[in-house]
Amino acid sequence: MNLPASITRYLSESDERLAHHPKLQKLFRNCFPNTLETTTKLLDDGTTFVFTGDIPAMWLRDSTEQVRHYIPFAKEDPELQRIIGGLIARQMFYVNIDPYTNAFNETASDKHYRDTDDCQLNPWMWERKYELDSLCFVVQLAYMYWKEAGQTGIFDAACYQALTSIVHVIRTEQRHGEQSPYYFVRQTLKDTETLQNNGRGMPVNYTGMSWSGFRPSDDSCEFGYNIPSNMFAVVILGYIREIASEIYKDERLAAQAAQLRKEIDFGIRTYGIVNHPKYGRIYAYETDGYGNYSLMDDAGTPGLLSIPYIGYVGVEDPIYQNTRRFALSFDNPFYFEGQYAKGIGSPHTPGGYVWHMALSMQALTADNEEEIKQLIDMLIRTDADTGYMHEGFHPDNPSDFSREWFAWSNSLFATLISKAMDQGLV
């Protein structure tokens, strides 16, 4: 598709600002518009389908992150309003089909990642992994678009229905074992692709937090309460409270969101913090409420590294700083180092791979200019001369990478470079 006028202007301005660094200039010109140029489809019903890249499906989470860096340009650009407003409408349409689904088809084509999944698939669903963060991203995009672009037309009856459904599901999953209808079974040799206990997940204790079957990486949760996703839920429930009150004049929904937010935050503060012998008080990655914890971080957003990015606490928060030191150390089982890079990876990709998204996120949440500059240099040097970012790559051989076409990673890199240009760091 043709680029909106505001994006074309910004790219021209950026070419001039990055003229002193030809490789970064090329990377930014490739990555910043990548979603618009390659993964965006304007549909006849006025909605927008944004697929992830080398997979033809639309993830609720990915599609939000793929367009987030365009929101600041939307206020004065009708073309961009059509794209982002249409995406929000499409997301709400999908949530109203099924709030437990993470990825959808463009049409009711009955195409699925695995036809053999036992999880109540319907023709719209590409994959039905329940990920709490997916619902959070939907709310985040609508809220940011409202606040930054001043657009209220997105808040129609379908949006209200979706927001109500999101609150209901998050509340239901506070008591997953007793109240939830959700299960997921995939016949696979890879444990991270299915849920134990006949698809219900291992038992969890009531904590106030909300259960999630899968992580932002699409891997199954080891323990049912994913802390970063619950932090994100606290943030977006605040958004729902505000939207319900100011837009829909529904104080009942606003009160429900506020109460749920309070309960989840209590759960995080009570069950989600661990006294680590080396780092002090840190946030766990997951817990089951019975005293079991997963101490790690994953490259996907939301993760522990991205806590300030999603808006739960600021970079200066002492528990976050302790957690950050842990996540960027070998005490995190998914932290890797090599000749060309060091950073966080994921069980979703081969052992030892560092993710470009994790490097971008580390820089976006850093409060040290030297660290930011080093990470940008690391990103530039590890594109394998493709001109784009990837998913995971081997830190000793950046040409060994996964996902040649992964728009979310390109968008997050573009977000970082835009911020760095504004700060005079590149």
Q: Which of 288, 282, 287 is nearest to 313 (CA)?
A: 282
Q: Which residue has the tokens 């004065």?
A: 76
Arithmetic mean of pLDDT, 94-121: 97
Q: 270: alpha, beta or left, given left = phi > 0 and alpha = psi -120 to 50? A: alpha
Arithmetic mean of pLDDT, 92-101: 98
Helices (H), 192-302: 196-199, 227-246, 251-271
DSSP calls for 63-109: HHHHHGGGGGG-TT-HHHHHHHHHHHHHHHHHHHH-TT-SEE-SSS-
Q: 387: alpha, beta or left, given left = phi > 0 and alpha = psi -120 to 50? A: left
Each residue's pLDDT tens digit, 308-341: 999 999 999 999 999 999 999 999 999 999 999 9
The pLDDT score that the predictor gives to residue 388 is 97
The pLDDT score that the predictor gives to residue 189 is 65
The pLDDT score that the predictor gives to residue 156 is 98
Question: How confident is residue 350, by pLDDT bands cut at 50, 70 and 90?
Answer: confident
- The Cβ-side half-sphere exposure at 355, using a 13 Å CA radius, reads 31
Percentage of residues of the chain with pLDDT beyond 70 = 100
Average pLDDT, the chain: 97
CA distance 179 to 198: 16
**Under a CB-based contact definition with an 8 Å cutoff, are residues 319 and 283 in contact?**
yes
Arithmetic mean of pLDDT, 250-265: 98
Check pLDDT > 90 for residue 192. Answer: no
The pLDDT score that the predictor gives to residue 191 is 76
DSSP calls for 104-138: E-SSS----S-TT-BS---TTEEE----HHHHHHH
Arithmetic mean of pLDDT, 144-166: 97
CA distance 135 to 137: 6
Specify which residues 14 forms β-bridges with: none
Q: Which residue has the tokens 């490739």?
A: 30
Check pLDDT > 80 for residue 277. Answer: yes
Q: Which of 153, 137, 150 is nearest to 86 (CA)?
A: 153
CA distance 175 to 385: 49
Parallel/antiparallel/unpaired status of strands 293-294 and 48-50 = unpaired
The pLDDT score that the predictor gives to residue 10 is 98
The pLDDT score that the predictor gives to residue 190 is 74
Each residue's pLDDT tens digit, 132-154: 999 999 999 999 999 999 999 99
**Under a CB-based contact definition with an 8 Å cutoff, are residues 202 and 287 in contact?**
no
DSSP calls for 15-55: HHHTTT-HHHHHHHHHHTTHHHHHSEEE-TTS-EEE--BSS
The pLDDT score that the predictor gives to residue 188 is 78
Contact residues for 211 (Cβ-Cβ < 8 A; gap 6+): 132, 173, 174, 176, 180, 201, 204, 224, 225
Structure tokens at 334: 């998914």
CA distance 360 to 301: 11
Domains detected in the chain: 5-11+34-332 (1.50.10.10)
Each residue's pLDDT tens digit, 333-347: 999 999 999 999 999
Check pLDDT > 80 for residue 222. Answer: yes
The pLDDT score that the predictor gives to residue 169 is 98
Q: Could you tell me where the beta strands, DSSP code E, fall in 182-235?
A: 225-226
Arithmetic mean of pLDDT, 285-299: 98
Contact residues for 80 (Cβ-Cβ < 8 A; gap 6+): 4, 6, 7, 70, 73, 74
CA distance 318 to 159: 37
